[in-house]
Chain A
Amino acid sequence: KAGVTQTPRYLIKTRGQQVTLSCSPISGHRSVSWYQQTPGQGLQFLFEYFSETQRNKGNFPGRFSGRQFSNSRSEMNVSTLELGDSALYLCASSLGQGEGKGTYEQYFGPGTRLTVT
């Protein structure tokens, strides 16, 4: 079974620009979560999509948005980039339903390293 893939792996953008990151989940997984990881703040939850709907949301400004397509692939968009948005953005997929261990068990992609200059 193929793992979670994220594209691109690396990005360099300038302040004020916008960026779109892509994530393809494991086949059969309907939940996709996005996280921002920085040395200072650790792993922070951005949002989660399940069946094309945003089901959970973290505490990030509206510049951070996402969407999920009918094939469960997800995109994340950051508008008006700031220097502080430089981070590793991780995508994770899971079943997102049911009651077994798989409900919360997340499988992560390799991440997209975003650098804002």
Chain B
Amino acid sequence: GEDVEQSLFLSVREGDSSVINCTYTDSSSTYLYWYKQEPGAGLQLLTYIFSNMDMKQDQRLTVLLNKKDKHLSLRIADTQTGDSAIYFCAEGSGGSYIPTFGRGTSLIVHP
């Protein structure tokens, strides 16, 4: 079946930029999403990008999409300790109406 891959951990220093990467296999993906999960909570939708876009910026968040390589990234500028969480990449395509989620990247921000 279709797959979404993410690295499991990322550690950064407060104030630096964080870049979380994701690769997917479904070439028919139409929408790609980033979710954030804080400890003990559900997933929160952060942002999305449509497959005909290369980049989307939303305040401190920048999403880059390389459709040819099926590579998606989430850049968080000026990372804060409150950004420490698990970040999930998800892709939506086809008629199942269910997105496929990656395993999540645990972002640890050091003071």
Contacts and interface: CB of A to CB of B under 8 A. Distances in A.
Nearest to A103: B97
B92 A104 contact: yes
Interface stretch (A12-20, A60-68, A76-84, A90-98): A90-98
Given A42-B103, A43-B103, A108-B43, A31 B97 contact: yes
B42 interface: yes
Contacts of A103: 31, 92, 97
A56 B90 CA distance: 17
Contacts, number: 63
A104 B43 contact: no
The prevalent SS among residues of A at the interface is strand
A107 B97 contact: no
A107 B98 contact: no
Given A43-B88, A90-B43, A105-B45, A33 B98 contact: yes
Contacts of A31: 97
A76 B98 CA distance: 18
Interface of A: 4, 31, 33, 42-43, 45, 48, 50, 55-56, 90, 92, 94, 96-97, 101, 103-111, 113
11 contacts: A4-B42, A33-B98, A56-B98, A90-B42, A101-B31, A101-B48, A104-B30, A104-B93, A105-B48, A105-B92, A108-B43
